[in-house]
Amino acid sequence: MLRACTLLLVAAACGGDPAASDAGPGDSQPEDAAVDAAIPSKLVAYVSGGTHIAWYDVDRATGALHPISTVVAVRGPASFLAHRGSTLYAVAESDNRVGAYAVAPATGALTFINDVAAGGTGPTHVSVDATGRHVFVANYSNGTVSVFPVQAGGGLGAAAQTLTPGANAHMIAPDPTNRSVFVPCLGANIVAQYRFEPTTGVLTPSTPASVATASGAGPRHIAFAPDGMFAYVINELDSTMSAFTLDPATGRLTSIQTLSTRAAGATGTNTTAEVVVHPTGKYLYGSNRGDNTVV
């Protein structure tokens, strides 16, 4: 299940930490992008697809993209991108690798650093913890997640830990406190819950180890309110969005409600893809593939 395209916006010449965005298996277009609150002199958009990662200058006034250059995605198509500081990370789903690229601060140009085995098969998501010292990868095909140490210069060491949260682990993401990590598992209809120790990079299953979604829901991605008190899971297979409270002290999710992502009377086949929380925390966005809508 290859990802066709991923879009990532990075604030160049700035020390901020923009977030990554994802287009899922079978997608043909990017679904989300986010940048930090800082306003640097240059904004660069990275797009993965095929065998290359391309980057574009973003016109802040119009939103227009102006091509700059491309780099060959080492070890196969890059299917998901994440950025932290001066390094971009990409997973290659077909080759089971995760790679690191240095980002030139002034221009945004990419230079390959290294890549390592993803710790499982079908890597579908990569993220970075708030310290920038640990990289997380979710491996969809064999339902595993791995933690990688970040070396001096941004390169990756071999996987330090690999766990099996559940079938079709689709995403792995730390919460705003950087003390809890969550893994939506599409095939198991659960969201796995872990406590995270930023000093050592070790994940430990929470109690309980997971929270269930509806049977057949297919939890895909998770996003957090800026204050870390709420989490939102978009369910790919039944086109719903689930809201949870999040206890920062324990890292436990508690279900609040689940709503459809589709308009009343919508017909035909649909699956969901991405979920994003507005920086104010007042709005939540989700995308529908099939209906071709954003809610």
pLDDT of 284 = 98
Over the range 246-285, which residues count as b (16 or more CB within 10 Å of their CB) and which as e? beeeebbbeeeebeebbeeeeeeebbbbbbbbeeeeeebb
pLDDT of 49 = 73
pLDDT of 66 = 94
Query: Any idea what DSSP says for residue 75?
Result: T
Residues in the chain: 295
- In tens, the pLDDT along 117-150 reads 999 999 999 999 999 999 999 999 999 999 999 9
DSSP line for 180-244? EEEEEETTTTEEEEEEEETTTTEEEEEEEEEEE--TT--EEEEEE-TTSSEEEEEETTTTEEEEE
Higher pLDDT, 54 or 33: 54
> Could you tell me the pTM of the whole model?
0.88
The confidence band for 243, taking pLDDT boundaries of 50, 70 and 90, is very high
Give domain 1-160's CATH architecture: 7 Propeller (2.130)
Q: Please compute, for residue 42, the number of CA atoms within 13 A of its CA located in the half-sphere on the CB side.
A: 17
